[in-house]
Chains A and B, each alone.
Chain A
């Protein structure tokens, strides 16, 4: 009897370790494939080979000075023109995916992500106001001012979601519909601001709004990177609490979690996160929706792993989208936002049709 029990325990522990090992392996594998993807992405369309590109990037990192004009040109081209966009795609992908994973766990809603809940559009509206009209807060200028305005814009949908989920018993799809309505509303306002500010700049503004990473420089990246890293650390620290939230509000409360305040804090954090990304890239939809889903499909729902792995997955997806956006058409770039809609919209449709009842989660 005891013999059987102990082997059972042993198996269980072994199984658990194997599971953890598998998840760690998945994260490691994603990391490696991300690095390969970055080099590949730098190589595509530049005319340099895979290893040549690798050499160029390593040289830059090691501080090796280019010895002749050809090398200098290659270095300049890869590291100043192509690489910033790719790094931006990685940071944005990781950040948006983090936002999506947190929102899905927190709201118990498989369709939630910063795009479908309207937070992205709100942030975009704030950023557009700041860029076109120079609105800002007091002494905040430049990038920080734009991000601050985007944050205020992002707070509007967030607050609405908090209020509605607190006072009205809404189903997941109702919340998403409200989010969609909010994003229509903000899109209308963004259109208006763009049309009145400069009629000639419509094309630029249009491209900016649908999300692009091709115009990003090294100087744009630090703010994004700092915000994304800090929020990811904070979220990882509370990933256990997110696991509790996934079980539903009542269960989370019985296990000692202050659900309402936790949700509010998370939404504020996500608003900052999304604002800092959207201000530089424009709206990129669906990454936050699909990256966590793919991750959960492979390694299960434990947020301790879903969050880091989902961030990597988001980075990979956006990196791939960036790669596609540069080589899909011969006459120019397809903005990354459009590529993401092509990938994401059908998956969104699939997720809606697949879920059987209104309340069903994951």
Chain B
């Protein structure tokens, strides 16, 4: 390989340092999130519980239930969800060259929510004869692909501006949420409360047996996207450029969007709709590491994870009923969305 210019190496080193810094922050934040809450503990107690559990030793019942069985999986899923949504947002923004793209604004979440609703309320599953949890996930996954497919179809046939593509996504979201709302009205109040908490997005129902599935999907998905990072850099330059550099843009778009939908569906079918992480994560990461996918993907993953951990901590300490994570992320994310929209005009994205 040709020798690199020292100045460029300096740039790269700075980006790597930022990314590693974010990751270290995630570790510290996750420690902090294990401590935060109404049940008082100390860090040494937490380490003790984790250590004993990893080595198969007995732990006091209360510590076991609250820390090991509730807070630890919650923190892990917060990290995975934040990373998945944020990487999904980063890749979508790059591939579609649309700064507003995110699993939420493109309608993925609304499709997934529709799938969950029909599984939970109407009891319809696409593959009959499987357990209800698996049915929910499969439904969420399949239906989450529909909005993206529609948006891609419409935006390919007509020349459209980024904002208009997002508007199409929003319109599709309206359609899906109308159907979901109709279903929700037929539900009894208990099912409604379940589905509603899914809709707002919450991490408080997470248990250990959910972690495995999410982990496999998210790690495999991010690894695949990371593997393709060079393609995304070329895609940023435009379809024509990318094609002349030997990239099958249609196929890359299709496969990347499918993978993004897959990891999004895997997390949202457990956590519910958590909006704007996919928007906030990559945009903040881009401020620090720039748009090169090799650095952007890990940095957004780390930042998204940190963001969701913070949102989870806020949600846990706020009030008796707790502010759902989805609400926290919406309250932080919406103003940011507006700022991006307004600034977009003057930037290279426009």
Residues of A bordering B, CB below 8 Å: 111, 160, 164, 168-171, 173-174, 176-178, 180-182, 184-185, 187-189, 191-192, 195-196, 199, 202-203, 206-207, 210, 285, 329, 331-332, 334-335, 338, 341-342, 344-346, 348-349, 352-353, 358
Contact = CB atoms under 8 A, between A and B. Distances in A.
A210 B154 CA distance: 29
B172 A206 contact: no
Given A181-B337, A338-B185, A173 B167 contact: yes
A168 B345 contact: yes
Contact of B172 (A169, A176, A181, A349): A349
Given A173-B163, A189-B331, A334-B182, A199 B321 contact: yes
Given A173-B161, A206-B192, A184 B334 contact: yes
B245 interface: no
Contacts of A181: 334, 337-338, 341
Contacts of A349: 168, 171-172, 175
A206 B195 CA distance: 12
B170 interface: yes
Contact of A210 (B158, B168, B181, B323): B181
B345 A178 contact: no
Contacts of A285: 174
A202 B193 contact: yes
B334 A182 contact: yes
A349 B327 CA distance: 27
A341 B178 contact: yes
B326 A353 contact: no
B82 interface: no
A345 B174 contact: yes
Closest 6 CB pairs of A and B: A341-B178, A345-B174, A188-B330, A349-B171, A185-B334, A173-B163
Interface in B152-184: 154, 158, 161, 163-164, 166-168, 170-172, 174-175, 177-179, 181-182, 184
Contacts, number: 124
Interface residues of B, number: 46
Contact of A352 (B167, B193, B323): B167
A342 B179 CA distance: 8
Q: Which of A173, A176, A334 has the most CB of B within 10 A?
A: A173
Interface of B: 100, 154, 158, 161, 163-164, 166-168, 170-172, 174-175, 177-179, 181-182, 184-186, 189, 192-193, 196, 200, 275-276, 319-321, 323-324, 326-327, 330-331, 334-335, 337-338, 341-342, 344-345
A329 B186 CA distance: 10
A331 B323 CA distance: 34
B51 to A, nearest CB: 37
Contact of A196 (B168, B200, B319): B319
B162 to A, nearest CB: 9
Given A173-B167, A178-B341, A188-B334, 11 more contacts: A171-B161, A173-B164, A174-B345, A184-B334, A188-B200, A188-B326, A188-B330, A202-B189, A341-B177, A341-B178, A346-B171
A182 to B, nearest CB: 7
B342 A164 contact: yes
B41 to A, nearest CB: 26
Contacts of A180: 170
A94 B177 CA distance: 25
Interface SS of A by simple majority: helix
Contacts of A329: 186
Nearest to A350: B171
Contacts of B319: 196
Contacts of A176: 167
Given A177-B100, A353-B154, A188 B331 contact: yes
Nearest to A352: B167
A285 B196 CA distance: 20
Contacts of B326: 188
A348 to B, nearest CB: 5
B275 A184 contact: yes
B171 A170 contact: no
Contacts of B275: 184
Contacts of B174: 285, 341, 344-345, 348
A334 B185 contact: yes
B185 A352 contact: no
B161 A207 contact: no
B168 A352 contact: yes
Contacts of B172: 349
A132 to B, nearest CB: 13
A173 B326 CA distance: 25
Contacts of B331: 185, 188-189
